[in-house]
């Protein structure tokens, strides 16, 4: 991969790797992000998403590999990278004893914005996230969703070229999560910014992202638009629960079907699921295998992940420290 200034890509990553002791949290990751994109990094907790974001935002030094953000090398030019980016962390970082306006004003001062520019920008970003009428209320009185919106506003305060959103809706209820999505889309429309979003919510990636990189165990295992990722496995997904799962799995594979064993049963991808289901029953009956249940749905990014890894993202959703993963892997 060549790193060329003034290209259409605002982020370029080549073989980026991060070790913690003997554990590789991120393994030889490579990708590019176009200017103005909402680029999603989807995977279970512990997959390496946050470690990757921390390297791109200069909070962690890579063990090896190279990355350019807004044209600057994250290792050689960290100060220039930091001036070019905004970041919203998983954990809240607002000062709850200050008002919304005071939090934004402090952030503007850190970035050297003069008084007039700070005041103008505070008004702009509060309006963008629908908090203009809450500007002078203490943050400790805000709901979780309001605090998240304020953190996103703060990330935009200094006109960043790239905004990193690390699990921006983690822990929020469904309605608040959808509201945050609307604000993120509005910010992309109104601001000249590229957004990098990490998530383990399938629906979030499908609704917000222009392209999605699916990451697992520190590696990117698929990267494309949501539509192309779905098309790659077929438009329909069938889940089957049978008595003899392994036997039926081998029979399905002998029919050249895309099938993988999951914790719940077998998942089969197909171009036309309604036509395939009678064939499944016929095959099971012929070999005296009892089918307990069958469900048909449109393929999703979850199904892409299942076919690539053999498990569902939600099965791996519990937060896990890297060292805990090392212990589990060594058992």
pTM listed for this prediction? 0.84
Show which of 228, 256, 278 is a domain's final residue. Answer: 228
User: Domain span at residue 251?
Assistant: 234-298
User: Does 296 have pLDDT greater than 60?
Assistant: yes
- The answer as to whether 318 is a domain residue is no
Average pLDDT of 139-161?
A: 94
- The answer as to whether 331 is a domain residue is no
Average pLDDT of 171-196?
A: 88
- The answer as to whether 2 is a domain residue is no
Res 315: pLDDT: 53
- Could you count the other beta carbons within 10 Å of the beta carbon of residue 173? 12
Q: Which segment of 69-83, 290-304, 309-323 scores lowest on mean pLDDT?
A: 309-323
Q: Give the whole-angstrom CA distance, residue 41 versus residue 142.
A: 29
Which of residues 109 and 45 earns the better pLDDT score? 109
User: Residues 102, 55: one domain?
Assistant: yes
User: Residues 198, 280: one domain?
Assistant: no
User: Residues 18, 145: one domain?
Assistant: yes
User: Residues 248, 191: one domain?
Assistant: no
User: Residues 126, 240: one domain?
Assistant: no
- The answer as to whether 102 is a domain residue is yes
User: Residues 259, 212: one domain?
Assistant: no
Res 191: pLDDT: 85
Whether the Cβ atoms of residue 39 and residue 49 lie closer than 8 Å to each other: no
CATH code of the domain containing 167: 3.40.50.300
When pLDDT is cut at 50, 70 and 90, the band that residue 6 belongs to is: low
User: Residues 207, 239: one domain?
Assistant: no
**In which residue are the tokens 């909070």 written?**
59
- The answer as to whether 321 is a domain residue is no
Kindly state the helix (H) or strand (E) to which residue 215 belongs, with its residue range: strand 211-216
Q: Which segment of 11-25, 110-124, 164-178 scores lowest on mean pLDDT?
A: 164-178
Whether the Cβ atoms of residue 195 and residue 39 lie closer than 8 Å to each other: yes
When divided into structural domains, the chain yields a total of 2
Give 17-66 pLDDT, tens digit per residue: 999 999 999 999 999 999 999 999 999 988 999 999 999 999 999 999 99
Show which of 228, 253, 273 is a domain's final residue. Answer: 228
Whether the Cβ atoms of residue 315 and residue 302 lie closer than 8 Å to each other: no
Give 261-289 pLDDT, tens digit per residue: 888 899 999 999 999 999 999 999 999 99
User: Residues 223, 275: one domain?
Assistant: no
User: Residues 76, 200: one domain?
Assistant: yes
Res 322: pLDDT: 42
- The answer as to whether 4 is a domain residue is no
- The answer as to whether 310 is a domain residue is no
User: Residues 188, 266: one domain?
Assistant: no
User: Does 86 have pLDDT greater than 90?
Assistant: yes
User: Residues 219, 257: one domain?
Assistant: no
List of E strands, 156-250: 162-166, 194-199, 211-216, 219-224, 236-242
Res 140: pLDDT: 97
CATH code of the domain containing 260: 3.30.70.270
User: Residues 146, 269: one domain?
Assistant: no
Kindly state the helix (H) or strand (E) to which residue 301 belongs, with its residue range: helix 301-309
């Amino acid at each position: 991969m060549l790193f060329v200034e003034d290209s259409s890509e605002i982020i370029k990553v080549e073989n980026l790797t991060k070790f913690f002791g003997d554990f590789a949290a991120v393994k030889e990751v490579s990708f590019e992000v176009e200017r103005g994109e909402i680029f999603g990094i989807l995977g279970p907790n512990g997959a390496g998403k946050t470690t990757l974001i921390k390297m791109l935002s200069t909070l962690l030094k890579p063990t090896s590999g190279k990355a350019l953000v807004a044209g600057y090398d994250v290792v050689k030019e960290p100060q220039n990278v930091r001036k070019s980016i905004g970041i919203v962390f998983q954990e809240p970082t607002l000062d709850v004893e200050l008002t919304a306006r005071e939090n934004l004003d402090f952030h503007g001062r850190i970035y050297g914005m003069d008084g007039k520019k700070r005041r103008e920008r505070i008004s702009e970003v509060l309006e963008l996230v629908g908090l203009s009428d809450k500007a002078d209320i203490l943050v400790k009185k805000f709901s979780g969703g309001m605090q998240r919106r304020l953190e996103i506003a703060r990330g935009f305060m200094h006109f960043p070229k790239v905004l990193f959103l690390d699990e921006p809706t983690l822990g929020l209820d469904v309605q608040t999560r959808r509201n945050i999505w609307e604000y993120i889309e509005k910010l992309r429309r109104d601001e000249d910014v590229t957004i990098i979003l990490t998530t383990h919510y399938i629906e979030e990636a499908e609704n917000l992202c222009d392209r999605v990189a699916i990451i697992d165990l520190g590696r990117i295992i698929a990267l494309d638009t949501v539509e192309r990722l779905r098309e790659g496995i077929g438009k329909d997904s069938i889940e089957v629960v049978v008595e003899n799962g392994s036997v039926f799995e081998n029979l399905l594979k002998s029919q050249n079907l895309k099938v993988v064993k999951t914790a719940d049963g077998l998942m089969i991808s197909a171009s036309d699921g309604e036509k395939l289901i009678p064939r499944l029953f016929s095959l099971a009956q012929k070999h005296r295998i009892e089918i307990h249940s069958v469900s048909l749905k449109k393929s999703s990014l979850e199904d892409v992940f299942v076919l690539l890894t053999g498990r569902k993202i939600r099965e791996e959703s519990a937060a896990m420290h890297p060292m805990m993963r090392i212990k589990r892997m060594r058992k």
